[in-house]
C-alpha cells in the first residue's frame, strides 16, 4: 500500500472532530453542481468517502436519495448519527474499491468531496463510470489551504516552525495564489477516457479561528495525525504563543475548492 493509501485510514482517528472542525463547502458550489448536472430530487446519488457527512447533509436536506460509502468505522458511525433524520440516506462502511453495489443499480450522480485523491487511480474512474448510465455525471471537489494576495502573515511565521521540525513540503514560499495553482482533476477526467468535463468552478473564502479552533482543524489532517507527538506538541505551543500576542487572538485562514464535473461518455 502506498503512503497515500495508508494515510487515508488516519482520518478515522479524527472522527469526533471532523464535522465541526472542517469548513462547510460554499452554498454556491451546490448550486453550481445542480445547475451543471441538471439533477433534481429524488435522484439517487452515490457519495465516495462521506466522512461524517460533511457534504452529505446539504444534499440530503434537498431531498436526494444518497448511498454514502465510508472507509472508517468511526467516521461512518458519525455519518449515521448526523444523517439519522433522513431515511433515504444510507451509510455503508467500506472502501470504494471493495464495495459492490446491488446488481443492476445505477446512480444519477457519483460524487466525492475531499476524498477522491485517496481512491486508487487504477480503479476510481472505471468504477465510477460503471455505476452511471451513459450521460450520468461524476463530480469531485476538494477544500485546501489558499494563499491569496495579503494572506495572514501568521502562516509565514509558522511555516518556519514546520521547516525546523522537518515537516515542510519543500515547495517555494509563499505558495502561488489560488488562481495560479493548477488543478489536475480535469485532465485526469479526460485522460481516463470515460468522462468529458462539462464544468469546473473555483471558490475561495476565508474563516477566522481561535487557537483552539485552529488546532482542532489541524488534528483532522492526515499529516498532523501522523506527526510524532513531540513535534505536534511543539507546533501547538508555537501556534498558541503567536496567537496569544494578537489583540483578538485569532488568525485568518483562506480556503480554496475546485469543483470538477464530468459526463460519462
Give the integer Cα–Cα distance in Å for 220 and 21.
8
Residue 46 domain flag: yes
Q: What is the mean pLDDT of the chain?
A: 95
Grid coordinates in use for 187? 485532465
pLDDT band at residue 9 under the 50/70/90 scheme: low
pLDDT in tens, 15-32: 899 999 999 999 999 999
Task: Report whether pLDDT(12) > 50.
Answer: yes
**Nearest alpha carbon to residue 74 among 44, 51, 41, 108:** 51
Q: Which domain holds residue 106?
A: 3-149+176-207+254-264
Length of the chain: 265
Task: Report whether pLDDT(183) > 90.
Answer: yes
Q: What element of type H or E holds 222?
A: helix 222-225
pLDDT in tens, 62-82: 999 999 999 999 999 999 999
Residue 125 domain flag: yes
CATH code for the domain of 101: 3.40.50.150
Residue 104 domain flag: yes
Residue 155 domain flag: no
Total structural domains in the chain? 1
Question: pTM of the predicted model, to two decimals?
Answer: 0.94
User: Coil, strand or helix: which one is 244?
Assistant: helix
**CA 135 → CA 64, 107, 130, 182, distances in Å?**
19, 11, 12, 27
58 DSSP 8-state letter? H
Residue 36 domain flag: yes
pLDDT band at residue 170 under the 50/70/90 scheme: confident
Amino acid at each position: 500500500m502506498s503512503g497515500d493509501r495508508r494515510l487515508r485510514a488516519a482520518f478515522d482517528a479524527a472522527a469526533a472532530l471532523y464535522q465541526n472542525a472542517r469548513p462547510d463547502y460554499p452554498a454556491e458550489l451546490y448550486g453550481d453542481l445542480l445547475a451543471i448536472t441538471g439533477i433534481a430530487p429524488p435522484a439517487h446519488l452515490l457519495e465516495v468517502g462521506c466522512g461524517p457527512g460533511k457534504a452529505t447533509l446539504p444534499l440530503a436536506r434537498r431531498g436526494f436519495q444518497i448511498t454514502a460509502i465510508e472507509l472508517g468505522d468511526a467516521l461512518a458511525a458519525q455519518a449515521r448519527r448526523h444523517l439519522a433524520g433522513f431515511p433515504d440516506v444510507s451509510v455503508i462502511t467500506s472502501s470504494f474499491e471493495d464495495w459492490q453495489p446491488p446488481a443492476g443499480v445505477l446512480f444519477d450522480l457519483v460524487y466525492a468531496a475531499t476524498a477522491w485523491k485517496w481512491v486508487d487511480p487504477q480503479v476510481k474512474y472505471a468504477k465510477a463510470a460503471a455505476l452511471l448510465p451513459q450521460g450520468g455525471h461524476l463530480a469531485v471537489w476538494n477544500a485546501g489551504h489558499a494563499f491569496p494576495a495579503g494572506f495572514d502573515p501568521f502562516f509565514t511565521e509558522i511555516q518556519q516552525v514546520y521547516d525546523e521540525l522537518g515537516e515542510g513540503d519543500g515547495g517555494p514560499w509563499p505558495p502561488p495564489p489560488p488562481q495560479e495553482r493548477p488543478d489536475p482533476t480535469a485532465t485526469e477526467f479526460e485522460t481516463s477516457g470515460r468522462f468529458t468535463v462539462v464544468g469546473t468552478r473555483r471558490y475561495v473564502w476565508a474563516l477566522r479561528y481561535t487557537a483552539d479552533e485552529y488546532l482542532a482543524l489541524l488534528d483532522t489532517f492526515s499529516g498532523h495525525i501522523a506527526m510524532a507527538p513531540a513535534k505536534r506538541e511543539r507546533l501547538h505551543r508555537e501556534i498558541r504563543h503567536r496567537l496569544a500576542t494578537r489583540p483578538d487572538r485569532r488568525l485568518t485562514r483562506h480556503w480554496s475548492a475546485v469543483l470538477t464535473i464530468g459526463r460519462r461518455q
